[in-house]
Each structure stands twice: as structure tokens, then as C-alpha cells.
Structure 1
Amino acid sequence: MSVESYRDLKVWGKAMDLVVESYKLANQLPKTETYGLTNQIQRAAVSIPANSFRPTTYHLPPTTY
């Protein structure tokens, strides 16, 4: 199995499933939470696949401490 894109990875698909389930859960919360907990759940869920599969085509210089 060759991986040509991050979308070919099972873990990316599972992360996207988590996003969908999180949105379903957030939509069940009271409307008073629209800009509070609901928004936080949605942003946190979306950040998982977004930050986990950043491009690896660029190289950062090594840090020295």
C-alpha cells in the first residue's frame, strides 16, 4: 500500500470521523452554549486532523540549545 496523500491514511479518516461525531455532540448542547462549549468542542475537533498532518515538504533548521 502506497501513501500518496494524507487522505490515504487510516488515522486521518478516523480523525475526520471524530470531527463529525464532535459536531453532532455539540449540536445537542443547549443554544446558550453556542459561543461557549459548542464552539470550543468544534474548534478542538477540527484542530486534530489539521495539525496532525501538516506538510513535511519543508525543513526547519535544527535548533541548538
Structure 2
Amino acid sequence: GKGKIPGLTPAQLDWSATDIAYYLETGFTPDFDSAGGSMSSVVSNLANLAPEDRAAIAAYIKALPAVE
């Protein structure tokens, strides 16, 4: 089926920072979907980062200003 790419701002993505960090490590979303296409390569590389680095990326994403 067609993939979907969620928006990254808080108004568009209601994931916690923990959810985001887990997705960046595993490619699995909180609703049990998975990364596909080009994003699977991104996740494969981000999974090699230290957990602290993935947590920092997640914190940055959570800090983005809301865009409707």
C-alpha cells in the first residue's frame, strides 16, 4: 500500500520523545506501522547512533514550533 509520512511538528505528530527515539532506532511507529522506502535507510543509519543522540534528535523534533 501507499506509505504515509507524518509531519514533524507537535500539531501534526502526537508521538512522545520516547516514541520518536524508538522509531529512529527500530523503524516502528507507536501504532505498529514501520518505516519503508527511503526512510528505511535513514533508520538503518540512525540505529547506529548512541541512544543519547537519538534522544537529542527526538527532543529537537518535539521542540519544533507547531505548524498547522
Of the two, which has the highest radius of gyration? Answer: 1
Structure showing the higher helix proportion among its residues: 1
Q: TM-score range by the shorter chain?
A: 0.3 to 0.5
TM-score, length of structure 2 as denominator length = 0.33
Q: Which has the higher contact order (CA 8 A, sep 6+)?
A: 2
TM-score with structure 1 setting the length: 0.34
